[in-house]
Structure 1
């Protein structure tokens, strides 16, 4: 990959590049990473452009998912490869937006509506089961009055992958249609929340705080996605993993890591280098690369919880994420003039 450095965080767009090379180092990466490229004459924040782009992609994926669900149910069965692929693609589009709780309250207010996770008490399963046994009505409007646990991607995963639903095709399809339409509405709301730059006219210090806060919040969320199913050594909790029914928990963590690395490259790396903090920027870039390559291969998380050797690979990934989180608060924050003890709730 060729990284095109820029003197400022402004005037950037996002393009997709291959990553056989990372910053001059021969490191094979199992997925693509988005990095900034400068466009002259624009005055837009790179982190806003990224969220705006990601939210537009999410709208596109949820719209496609709703269409695929409608087509499958019209043909008489939700159990199709196309439905499962569309759901996974929607989840992958959600990963760059997942875990952002600061700076944009309108967007953050939709997070639980889009994904009810963690769901430690199987609230989604219990409420979906109750809805399937009811007489409806099944519509996006009706679901909007129900618990957020039945309005998002987790509810759809339950309907698509849970064996308990296989025998109730009529109600199952009706509810899946409604959930997919409600999810599409939420995605559209998210896009509208990112239409305007929440950092417009803010000071550089405030923008730095927001950028660190966003990345710290996403790191927190991904570390939780990893720690919950890991439990304690010898006592894992595989059913606490995100997307365990669809067996793509690890795939989604890979996408999380790629998205966070892209967010770092698009903004904080540029700012640190502009402030002549080259050693710190180089070290963090190297550790991001190490974190990317430390994500174990495979799609599901559960197989890695079953043996000590595989479990240790998850500990390694967790340690890398923890290092990055500490580096943000203990090194990046002070380097950008923030007080020590900065956390992911700052920068609102």
Structure 2
């Protein structure tokens, strides 16, 4: 889904990109991108370590250290979820970390298949890395830790081994993404004039696209999926609802994209005010799983939040983009 969003949000030059030549790409890489991937690598390493020592075959979901590490690592992923380009796209690492949305229910099916067959891939990281992405990453781990389907006593020992395999795989992918940024990709972006980024304008467009797409994903997918339609709301489609992280992801993503926006927009007061408004509305929801979309009044509050995020997107498109010599093109997800 995220890849489709990236493809659908077309970016093109509206004028000679003189502004992009002054765009401080190096500062963004060094203060926003790399530190956040360092956080992800560190937190996922801690998660794998907790799973290896704290996963009890009797009750893996009751180890407090494991659950705390799960939340910290998932937080770190959401903080880089908008930066899905470069090393995170290589070898489908981002999809292996975060296979969602999952409209066909592939994750529980894939996990159930592993459990039923007692697939030995859990004992070999290289083999586990070749299984379906639906059975890997944070959303698979959420099922294993929080869904009753995978809490059968007869499956406890294998479930624990599967949790350990998933967390090791998560940590390995996070480390690989960070290494990619530190060992070449960051330099390619910071010093355009190469086959990846021929000009500063191309690097600037990549970052602007990531920012715009991250906000679009929060509005149309994180909020839009559980909202469904007025006559048929879909609260069970909320992201990470089993671990009560749905609203948390909205807030974390807004904080991360706000940071990137500040680095890009150089203190644009309108967009800063719009972010503050959206974050205030999200915090006021007090609805961890967005279950309120099933109620007319609750749905209205989520709609208002969605609209406030779309205000940010509009300011980026109409004010900040043109200042950089970048304009948003046709976006089929908007129905234009």
Coarse TM-score class (shorter-chain normalised): 0.7 to 0.9
1:283 deviates by 1.1
How many residue pairs end up in the alignment? 293
Distance 2:316 2:29 in 1: 16
Q: 28, 43, 47: which is aligned to 1:46?
A: 28
Provide the secondary structure at the position in 1 that maps to 2:61: coil
Give the aligned CA root-mean-square deviation in angstroms. 2.1
1:86-97 residue pairs with structure 2 within 5 A? 86-97=69-80
Match of 1:205 in 2: 201
CA–CA separation in structure 1 for the residues paired with 2:327 and 2:68? 45
Q: CA deviation at 1:133?
A: 0.7
- Report 1 or 2 for greater relative contact order, CA contacts < 8 Å, sequence distance ≥ 6: 2
- After superposition, the C-alpha distances for 1:69-113 in whole angstroms (9 at most, x for unaligned) are 2222257420223322221111111112113334x2x22231101
Q: CA contact under 8 A between 1:48 and 1:194: conserved in structure 2?
A: no
TM-fit CA distance, 1:294: 1.4
Name segments (4+ residues, structure 1) moved above 6 Å: none
* 1:56 and 1:191 in contact (8 A); partners too: yes
Q: CA deviation at 1:310?
A: 1.5
Report how far residue 66 of structure 1 moved.
Answer: 1.2
Q: Which residue pairs with 2:269 in the alignment?
A: 282
- Counterparts in 2 of 1:79 and 1:330: CA distance versus 1, 3 Å: same
Query: What corresponds to 2:174 in structure 1?
Result: 187
5+ residue gaps in structure 2?
A: 1-21, 193-198
1:245 to 238, 242, 245: 242
Shift of residue 308 of structure 1?
Answer: 1.5
Normalised TM-score (structure 2)? 0.81
Are the counterparts in 2 of residues 304 and 310 from structure 1 also a CA contact under 8 Å? yes
2:216 matched residue in structure 1: 220
Task: Tell me how far apart the structure 2 counterparts of residues 84 and 63 of structure 1 sit (CA, whole Å).
Answer: 14
What 5-or-longer segments of structure 1 have no aligned partner? 1-7, 11-42, 274-280
Determine the structure 1 residue equivalent to 2:289.
301
Moved more, 89-98 or 123-132: 89-98
Cα distance in 2, alignment partners of residues 62 and 299 from structure 1: 27
* Alpha-carbon offset, residue 44 of structure 1: 2.9
- Say whether residues 1:260 and 2:248 are aligned partners: no
- Choose which of 130, 134, 149 in structure 1 pairs with 2:134: 149
Q: Is 1:85 paired with 2:68?
A: yes
- Write the distance in 2 (CA, Å) between the matches of 1:207 and 1:66: 34
Q: Identify, as 1 or 2, the structure richer in helix.
A: 2
Give the match for residue 17 of structure 2: none
SS at match of 1:44: helix
Q: Is the CA contact 1:213–1:343 (under 8 Å) kept in the aligned structure 2?
A: no
Instruction: Name the counterpart of 1:107.
Output: 88
User: 1:99 and 1:338 mapped to 2: Cα distance?
Assistant: 18
Tell me how far 1:165 sits from its aligned partner: 1.2
